[in-house]
Amino acid sequence: MTMGEHDITFDAMGSHVRLLIGEPGPGMDPAPAAAERAREFIVAFDAALSRFKPDSELSALNADPRECVPASELLRAAVKAGLAAAERSGGLVDPTLADEIESAGYVASRAGVPGAPLGVALGEAPPRHPASPNPAARWRRFEVDDEAGTIFRPPGVRFDTGGTGKGLAADLVAAQLRGYSRLIVDCGGDIRIGGADALVHPYEVHVEHPLTGECAHVLRLGTGGVATSGLNVRIWRDADGRYAHHLLDPATGEPAWTGLVGATALGDTAVEAETLSKAALLSGPKGGREVLAERGGFLIHDSGRIEAVGPLSVGRLRVRIPDIPVAGSRG
Amino acid sequence: MTERARARRPSSALVLWGSVALFAVLFALLTYQLSAASAPAPQSVLVRKVIKRRVVTTVVPTPGASTVTSGPVTTSSASAVSAAGAAPVTTSAS
């Protein structure tokens, strides 16, 4: 945070949300007013897209008996983000596991509910293996028609925006704040950074270790997104007394125990980072390295070992932006 | 007579001067060709000025925590953010 940066924190989407907003561009509102508008947007986003709220538009979509359902621009954007994440991850980040997550015991919001001890859960967890996509790939049966303003899907197949919702909210707010000198939108750890000044004076983002809660690394980021997926927060004992968490293996519908307790990923956007972090964790150590190889990130193993992957493994990340020919001449 | 004619060899001086003369002729010929050749026409050269933009992001390992380490990392680090009195921005599972 630099001098003159507006900093607000509030609760939404079952998480803490934080906004840091720098100086406005010419003709733009002061940062406090922009922050308040952003807060209102995120609250409305949560109200429309939470599967825990029976009056949300998402709940209405999931309960609608029609195949083709009229949907707001926001819901269509959320469904498209979920489908893009599924496509990008080869079906590992599957947005159609609402029934399975509820069967695992995640029926109501767990905001403010402390997670079960991860270290104990790891000791009782089944043998580790990477998660796999569900061969049925129900998410492929969703279609979004922006011209008609509708979503088409088989009735009964419920959509869950939880996998990408926070990242999408961060990206949308960052787009609204374009023109401010620097900004960071942190939706429960899914973070989007922007602003020209941030390129010159990058933000420091701490990576939390899921087992200790301590800062494991500090990233200096001037643009793009970063997100972390982990087992340490939304973890509980199910009705049978077994430990369960919210990151499911799409092939089995059961919580995935892959040998990783956390993954942090970088991306161009928060949605991309969130998708990659979830896909990396679900892929296990070997597959996770491949997922994070291009953009970079960290894998946190069950042992607590932190492994830097891709560009981060060499201690310096270089993001190439395509070369721009700016002049041509003949001599 | 035939035996004597077959055994006759050119004198070494003749070979020497013959070689020098041949070299001089070839040298003169090549020099003439080089000097007579027209200079190449000026060729257009396209110069493209390219600006390479790189956003460099560094990873600052916290004290006691290398990028690859064994066992749980138990260290934390102060940052410019916390030094300024505000909580650091943290990415974590939620």
Considering only CB atoms, which chain A residues are within 8 Å of B47?
328-331
Q: Which residue among B54, B60, B71 places its CB closest to the CB of A304?
A: B71
Chain A interface, best mutation among B48, B49, B59, by max A CB count within 10 A: B59
**Per-residue pLDDT at B67 exceeds 60:** no
Q: Which residue among B60, B69, B74 places its CB closest to the CB of A218?
A: B60
**Binary contact (A217, B92; C-beta < 8 A):** no
CA distance B59 to chain A (A): 5
Whether residue B11 lies within 8 A of chain A, CB to CB, comes out as no
Q: Positive or negative CA dihedral for A311, A312, A316, A322?
A: positive
- Say what the pLDDT of residue A115 is: 75
**Per-residue pLDDT at B89 exceeds 90:** no
Separation of alpha carbons A47 and A203, rounded Å: 30
- Say what the pLDDT of residue B35 is: 84
Alpha-carbon dihedral A187, A191, A195, A196, rounded to 10 degrees: 170
Q: Hey, is B2 helix, strand or coil? A: helix
Give pLDDT tens digits along chain A (331 positions): 555 789 999 999 988 999 999 999 999 999 999 999 999 999 999 999 998 899 999 999 999 999 999 999 999 999 999 999 999 999 999 999 988 888 877 777 767 777 778 888 888 889 999 999 999 999 999 999 999 999 999 999 999 988 799 999 999 999 999 999 999 999 999 999 999 999 999 999 999 999 888 898 999 999 999 999 999 888 888 878 888 888 999 999 999 999 999 999 999 999 999 999 999 999 999 999 999 999 999 999 999 999 999 887 765 444 444 444 444 333 3
**Per-residue pLDDT at B1 exceeds 80:** no
- Say what the pLDDT of residue B83 is: 35
Cα–Cα distances (Å) from A322 to A222, A226, A316, in that order, read 17, 21, 19
Q: Hey, is B83 helix, strand or coil? A: helix
Is the overall model pTM greater than 0.80, yes or no?
no
Cβ(A193)–Cβ(A176) below 8 Å:
no
The 3 state secondary structure assigned to B3-67 is HHHHHCCCCHHHHHHHHHHHHHHHHHHHHHHHHHCCCCCCCCCEEEEEECCEEEEEEEECCCCCC
**Binary contact (B50, A319; C-beta < 8 A):** no
Ordered structural domains, chain A, with CATH: 6-313 (3.10.520.10)
- Say what the pLDDT of residue B70 is: 24
Q: Which residue of A has its CA nearest to B81?
A: A1
Q: Which residue among B50, B74, B92 places its CB closest to the CB of A208?
A: B92
Cα A72 to chain centroid, rounded? 21
ipTM: 0.78
Q: A327: exposed, middle or buried (C-beta count within 10 Å: 0-12, 13-18, 19+)?
A: exposed
The two three-digit tokens of residue A72, written as one number: 């707001």
Instruction: Classify strands A150-152 and A143-145 as parallel, antiparallel or unpaired.
Output: antiparallel
- Say what the pLDDT of residue A322 is: 45
Q: Which residue among B57, B86, B88 places its CB closest to the CB of A319?
A: B57
Length, in residues, of chain B? 94
C-alpha atoms less than 13 angstroms from C-alpha of A29 in its C-beta half-sphere: 13
DSSP B87: P
**Per-residue pLDDT at B12 exceeds 50:** yes
The two three-digit tokens of residue A176, written as one number: 């609204």
Cα–Cα distances (Å) from B87 to A1, A12, A206, B79, B82, in that order, read 9, 18, 10, 10, 5
**Per-residue pLDDT at B72 exceeds 50:** no
Determine which helix (DSSP H) or strand (DSSP E) holds B81, and give its type and residue range: helix B80-83
Separation of alpha carbons A219 and B61, rounded Å: 8
**Per-residue pLDDT at B75 exceeds 50:** no
Whether residue B75 lies within 8 A of chain A, CB to CB, comes out as yes
**Binary contact (A326, B51; C-beta < 8 A):** yes
More confident: A297 or B45: A297
Whether residue A328 lies within 8 A of chain B, CB to CB, comes out as yes
Cβ(A128)–Cβ(A259) below 8 Å:
yes
